[in-house]
Structures are given as structure tokens and as C-alpha cells.
Structure 1
Amino acid sequence: MAFQCQRDCYMKEFVTSVVSCCPAELKQEVNGKKETIKGFHIKLQDTILFPEGGGQPDDHGFLGDVPVLRVTRQGPDALHFVASPLEVGQEVQVKVDWERRFDHMQQHSGQHLITALADTMFGYKTTSWELGRQRSTIELDTPCVKPGQLQELEECVNEKIRAHIPVMVQLLSIDDPAVEKVRSRGLPEDHAGPIRIIDIEGIDANMCCGTHVSNLGHLQVIKLLGTEKGKKNKTNLIFLAGKRVLKYAEKSYNTERSLVSLLKTGPDEHVEAVDKLQKSVKLLQKTNLGLLRDMAVLIAQSFKNDPHKDFFTFHKKEGDNEFMNIIANEINTEETLVFLTVGEEKGPGLFLLAGPSELVTEMGPQVLELLQGKGAGKNGRFQGKANSLARRGEVEALLKQRCNQRSSQEE
């Protein structure tokens, strides 16, 4: 069957009744972590909320005042996942998140238009596509698209938009001879009901379940951002349609203004200015690294002049693993226990414990625990990352005490 959202893609509200309500679970990613939400799957007599399919994400919206978190298709039915149950038989007002829906309509119809013209103009077939949150991608069956072809394709696409060409929906029976003449990547195994055809007048007829604009003029504009290398000798074409182009232009302009303020140059000189900055930073980093190495050697040599050589500790805010290892290499760690740290005094940092193997093996895990860190050791070296250097003083006291005990035992 065709849902109401497929019969009228512009309908924003709709009254229908609840057919069933069953317990369900929804797996979602929240702040980078996967969570399982318990709720209910609601089947309706009909719906204006599009269930995910055909490369198009699902709609969001409301059943009454209950938010719909996900819509999926199960054979001829749409399952609406909600957190609260609804009574079977009750009437509900369905509302669609229109901004999300219209964005999907623009991107999806834009994909159909680009796909059709890329095939007509250059013979490049579309093998798949993805409607992303910020940009969309069409996979073309060609190893590359030349810059001139990209420009020609974009000009032709926007020319069709300016021509306000109608986009029509046809519903055909599966045995209708006209079905054989339309573009298609095949039907899903659980498909039921008539075949839905999206017909861009005089340009393309394509089998599709998604929601679309009724006229190419509603796409407003399409911008082809460029191409990326795809899988198996294919090319990914990146594009934006409609309001996404306006958002992209606004974001780009705000970025440009920020760069003008930071770089003190006009937009046309930004690349050259950043290039100069990068070269300056590399030179400074190289100079700084050389100074740190020289400092490490001097620190180690200064310690060698100290008559008390059983324990050495040192902390520096600036530094890295190489800085600590140079110091340790310059000191005879077969006789001396060395504890070094770099980073914020009470924040995260790096540490190195070096010395007699049996002593390092014994004390390494205790140091790790006090610094709330992660690390490992072998051959008289134990090093890693510290989540907090706040207890560095406790580590020093513990190591000094152990060295004193060791000296007493040897005497």
C-alpha cells in the first residue's frame, strides 16, 4: 500500500486511528554511546510519517503529544516507536516535523535529478546514494568525474530547477508493462501493493518509495561540492540541495569573516597566510624541540654532579616522552631510580619511571595507581599517561622512602 505521506508529501497534519500497540525497544546512539530505550511500536490505520527506506531517513513527529522517535516499515505497515503506550482504536492527530521532512524531500528529489542527468549527459550510472545529516552522496559507476563535467552537470541541474518542471507520482500494478521502462534498483523482498513511480516530466521516471517535491522549483538550488574516490573504481559525488545550500553559504561566510579577523588579510589571501603560519609553526616546533633536548642533557649532567645519586625526580610543564627519555638515558639508571613527569601540575600528563629493573617492576604499578594512569614497563622502564599529576608529591615521597630502605638493606 501507499501511505498518506506518499500520496500527499506536503500534508503536515493528519487524523487517523491506532490499530495496535506492542512493547518494543529502540537502540540509539546518545553522546557517542549506544543505548537501548524501552517503548512501544504503534501501527496506525494510515500515516503521514515516512518509514525509513529507499535511501531516505525516517520522519520524526508526534502522535497527539507523544513524540515519535523512529518510523520503520514492516511489510505493508509502518511502525511508530514511542515512549508511551496508546490505546487501540483511539483517534490520534499525527504531526510531521516539517523542517526535517522538507529537507529530505529536497535532497531526495535532488538526487533523482542529478542521477538522471549524469546518466543522460555522460553515461554515469548511479549505484547507490546516501542522504546524510549535513551533505548527501551519490555513488557513480565511473573512476572519475572531470572538473569540467562537474561544472556542466551543475549548470544543467540548476537550469532544470529554474524551468519549474513538474514532478509527478504514479502508482502502477506490478504487472503493468510501463514498470519495465522505469529506472530501478529492484524491489525489497517484503514489498506489497502497487509500484510507485516518481516521474520528473521529460527527464526521468524512477521506481521509488520516498517523499518528493511536486515541482523542481521547490528544490531552490543545488550545489555540487565535489567528488571523492569511492569503492571499486567508483566516484562519490557530494551535493547539497535547497535550504542546505543557504546554510552552507551562511556558515562559509561566517568562517570567512572569522579568518579575516584572525589573519588580518582579505579572503583571497587566506590560503597564502595560513601556509606562512604553518611554516612558521614548524620552524618554531623544530627550534623548541632542539632546546628541550639541550635542556634534558643539561638537567641530567647537573644531577651527575650531585653526590646523592640513588634517586632523581624532575617535573616540567612543557615536554614529551622524548624529553624524559633523554634525561633517563643520560643518567645511569642501573644505580639510580628516576621519576620524571611532564604536563599540568594538577592535570593530565606523561610520566617515566626508570631504574634498577626489580625496583621499577615493584614500584611501577603503585605509581600508576597514584597517578590514575595507564602504562606498562619492561627492561627497567615504566611509562605511560597520567590522568592527574595532583598526587605527584606522594609518588616522590613513596619512591624516596623505598630508595632509602634499599640503601639501608645494602649497608
Structure 2
Amino acid sequence: MSMAVKPAMVGALACQRNSFLFGGFKTLVVSCEPKKDKKGKTEGYEIELQDTILFPEGGGQPSDSGFLKIIEEDGDSSVIRKILVSHVSRSGLHAKHHVSAHIEPGTTIEVNVDEEKRIDYMQQHTGQHLLSAILECDYKVNTVSWSMGGIITGKKSVLKPSDYFNYIELNRKLTEEEITNISDDIDQLIVNSPQEITVIERINEDEADGVDTSKIPDDYDLSKGILRTIHIGNIDSNPCCGTHLKSTSQIGSILILSSQSTVKGTNSRLYFMCGKRVSDYAKSANKILLNSKNLLSCSETQIPEKVSRQTKLIQQSSKREQYWIKKVARTASEKLKKKLEASGKKRAYFMEEEFGTLELLLQVYKEVSIFLKESFEVYEIILCGYERQSSSGSLLILSDTAEKISTLATELGSILQNLKGGGGKKGGKWQGKISFISNAESAALTGYLSHDFASC
């Protein structure tokens, strides 16, 4: 069902004309259409309102979220019903509110915005406009594109420190001195010389002369829609559909990283954040810093030195471990060779029950492969490793035929419930992982191997 009431167009929505309207906005439901999944089942509804203070996604800015409030009469009393709006999409010049419940067209509803999220979006978006304007005017560096950082959603309730950063892609890399100067310039415009931010609406294409409309989406019909230009004092003038602050002072603060990443050859991504994100990031980073201090038992300034020292110790330990793995593997392979030579069935096994890592088993396999090719046409070898701390292990089956490997894998699988693996379809090597080994399974495995195979 659709009403005769004409909805406001994207470009002239209440949220775009006053971005500080956060709640209590009353309007009418114009249409409510079901959304279908691939099987034709209704999975929600798209609602269009006569007007809205919930911004639809666009211009590099995510959509708002919030809720619709309906007052329903129930006898002599009234009931307030809240319907969450997960996001708002744009379809041409129409804003579509995505909800889980049907609302009858013609219903009067009250729209409310997630205020904290909206202010965050505006701080990042306005900050980006100001940053790009200074780069273009003072440094002749063009902004190719921009992306807002991570946002809290139903699936992601906590942001990582890296999620706080937005980035703009530039046509060249900036120097550290340039970044310092740009940061100082923006701080001046936030604290000492705040600039008023205004919006000019142009109703027809003829008024768009002199405005760069190259980044306007193809499905946004300028002949019917409104071209909005965002002005930051006399510093910047750019077309944009997003919600913005009223003054650069409301940006609050800005943090620009000196480290940049190179993209598309000579382009560069410059990472920054604005407003409350700066303090949130500082708190998050400080927590990591405190944990690092406690773990390393040192002051903040000593952390790099401590980490460097620990890294060197780990590298040395790794080299020692590699040395002894090769030493053990060489000794094990020599014993396996002797056992195979003395065994009538040509069956032998190697087991390490303490630190039997897959890395050790593969090194044994590497050493064993050398003499197998030279001395044995028929053989069955099982290499098994067990790590007591995790109660997990690894297992390799080596044989000259796929049939033997398949039989051994089946027999071992009947002993080890959590054994999974594959390979050896043409003989050679079958590799498996045991996610958990019980004490009973460990004893049964040892019994099976010691009964049918020669131990090295």
C-alpha cells in the first residue's frame, strides 16, 4: 500500500537541513514494503517516511541507526512501541529505513537517532573535509578517496585501536614535517580560529555551475534532486550529502599518524581520527601500554628496549630449538633404519610423548626419506608426537603403498577418536592431527604400536 503523501527527497531531508535533530521528530509512514530473501521469504521491511532525521548511507558516511516510536491505543490506555532501525539506504532520491516489523502507511511515528554515533560520524566527516581542504589549498595534494574507520555494530560491540582510524588516499606521500604543520593548522582552526560551517542548496542543475559534480552518484538525479554544498568558512566548498557540524570547533581534536601506507604505486593513505575517537583511542592505547609495562616490568620508555631484547632471546631460543630438532630427528632416523633392517615385517615407529610437535615429526620424515629411497622397497613407519600441556598431537604414516596407509589410518582412527588427516593416496606420507588425546587413548596407542611395530 502506498499513500499520496509525497516524501522528502534525499538532499532535502530534515537530518541534512539540521544535523543536530536527534529525537522527537514526528512524521508519517508513506510506504512499507517487505524485503525478500533469495527464497522469497520476508526478512524485514523497507519503510519510507514523509521526512526523516535518520541519514541514509552516502558520501563516505555510514547510515544512522535509531528507532521509530509509535503510540498505540489499547482500550483506555496507550502503549509505546519501539521499532529499531538497523540502517537506512538510499534508492535514487528516496531514503529507505530497514526495520523488522510492518508499520501501516499513514501511521504517525516519532523518529529518534543514535546521538553518540551521529556526532561521531559528523566529527570524522567534517574533519575529513577540513583536512582535505588544507592539503589541497596549502600543499597542492589532492584527496583521491576517503574511508571512515570502524564502527560499533550488533556484530562488533568493541573496537580495536586500529578501528578508530579513518584514512584519506592522497596523490603523494607527505613528509613528517608536513603532517606536523597540518596538525597544527587544524588545531588552530578548532581552538583559536573556529570556522562556521554552512550548507547551500541548489534546486536545479543550472545553479550548479562552477561546482564539481563528478563524484555525485550516477543514480542521484540532479535534475530532480538537490545539490548540497558544504562550506567551511572561506577555506572549503564541496558538494556533499552527509551530515556535518556547525563549526570546526565541534571537531574537538584531531590525530594524524605520521606513518602512511603506499597504494596504487605513488598514492598514499594518510590515517587520522577526530573528536571523541582521539580520547577513546588514548584510553585504549594506554591500557595496552600499562599491560605491557606490567608484563615486561619496566617503564614506558623502556618498552622498546625490552621488546627488542626479548625478540633476540626468542630468536636465539628458536635457533637452539631448530638445532636440537635436527639432532633428535637424525638420531631417530638412524634408529628407525636399524629397526627396519632387523624387522621381518619392515615395521617401526617413533614416538615423542612430551614435546612431540609436528615440526619434529616432519624433520624426522625428512631424514627418513633419504634412506627409504635408497634401501627399502617395502616399509610401514608411524611417527607420533604428543604435547602433554595441550593434550593434542600429530601423527604421520609412511608406507610404500596407499593400501597399507589406508589400513593403518583406519586402525589408528579406531584408537584415536579425534584423529583427522589425509594424504598418501599413492603411497608416501599420510599426515594427521589429533585435537585431543585421553589417557586411555594414549595407553591404547602405545600398546598397539609396541605390539605390532619395532620401537626406535
Tell me the amino acid that sits aligned with residue 5 of structure 1.
C
| Whole-angstrom distance in 1 between the partners of 2:412 and 2:339 | 27
Alignment-derived partner of residue 407 in structure 1:
none
Give a deviation string over 1:278-318, Cα, whole Å, max 9, x none: 00011011112222332334445556469666342514342
**How does the TM-score come out when normalised to structure 1?**
0.87
- Give 3-state SS (helix, strand or coil) of 1:187's partner: coil
Q: Is the 8 A contact 1:368 1:375 kept in 2?
A: no
Q: Distance in 1 between matches of 2:261 and 2:253?
A: 22
* Alignment CA distance shift 1:248-1:184 (3 Å): farther
Cα root mean square deviation, aligned = 2.8
Structure 2 partner of 1:164: 194
| Contact kept in structure 2, 1:312 and 1:339, CA below 8 Å | yes
Quick one: which of 248, 252, 261 aligns to 1:216? 248
Tell me, yes or no, if structure 1 residue 228 matches structure 2 residue 261: yes
In the TM superposition, residue 230 of structure 1 has moved relative to its aligned partner by 1.8
Cα distance change, pair 211–185 in 1 and its aligned pair in 2 (3 A): same
Q: Aligned-pair distance for 1:397?
A: 6.3
> Quick one: which of 217, 239, 261 aligns to 2:294?
261
1:204-353 to structure 2, matched below 5 A, reads 204-226=236-258, 227-301=260-334, 304=338, 310-328=347-365, 329-330=367-368, 334-344=378-388, 347-353=391-397
Q: Counterparts of 2:432 and 2:227 in 1: how far apart (Å)?
A: 61
After superposition, the C-alpha distances for 1:117-163 in whole angstroms (9 at most, x for unaligned) are: 00011111111111121211111122x21111111111111111112
Q: Distance in 1 between matches of 2:187 and 2:200?
A: 25
Alignment partners' CA distance in 1, 2:434 and 2:423: 12
Output the amino acid matched with 1:161. Answer: I
Question: Does the 8 Å contact 1:172/1:194 carry over to 2?
Answer: yes
What TM-score, normalized by structure 2, do the two folds share?
0.79
Whether 1:130 and 2:135 are equivalent positions in the alignment is no
Q: 1:215 to 1:101 in 2, by over 3 A?
A: same
Structure 1 residues 159 and 56: alpha-carbon distance in aligned structure 2, compared to 1, 3 A threshold: same
Tell me how far apart the structure 1 counterparts of residues 31 and 306 of structure 2 sit (CA, whole Å): 63
- In 1, the alpha carbon distance for the partners of 2:89 and 2:288 equals 38
Q: Establish whether residue 39 from structure 1 lines up as the match of residue 44 from structure 2.
A: yes
Determine which of 425, 430, 445 is the counterpart of 1:382.
430
User: Residues 26 and 109 of structure 2 are in contact (CA less than 8 Å); yes or no, is this contact kept in structure 1?
Assistant: yes
The one-letter code matched in structure 2 to 1:316 is E
Please point out which of 154, 167, 170 is paired with 1:140.
170
Partner of 2:205: helix, strand, or coil? coil
CA distance in 1, matches of 2:256, 2:263: 16
Supply the distance in 2 between the matched residues of 1:110 and 1:381 (Cα, whole angstroms). 59
Q: Which moved more, 1:112-121 or 1:86-95?
A: 86-95
1:117 aligns with 2:127: no
Q: How many residues align?
A: 394
Distance 1:190 1:325, change over 3 A: closer
Contact map agreement 2:361 2:383 (CA 8 A) in 1: no
Question: Could you tell me how far apart the structure 2 residues matched to 1:326 and 1:372 are?
Answer: 21
- Give 1:325 shift: 3.4
Q: Distance in 1 between matches of 2:212 and 2:186?
A: 19
1:62 pairs with 2:67:
yes
Secondary structure of the structure 2 residue equivalent to 1:382: strand
What residue identity is the alignment partner of 1:18? V
Identical aligned residues as a percent = 29
Q: CA–CA distance in 2 between the matches of 1:287 and 1:399?
A: 31
Equivalent-residue separation in structure 2 for 1:26 and 1:125 (angstroms): 42
Gaps of 5+ in 2: 1-8, 70-81, 151-163
Contact preservation (8 Å) 1:18, 1:43 = yes
Deviation at 1:26, TM superposition (A): 7.8
Q: Which ranges of structure 1 fall in alignment gaps of 5 or more residues? A: 28-35, 405-411
1:104 aligns with 2:149: no
Query: After alignment, is 235-244 or 225-234 more displaced?
Result: 225-234
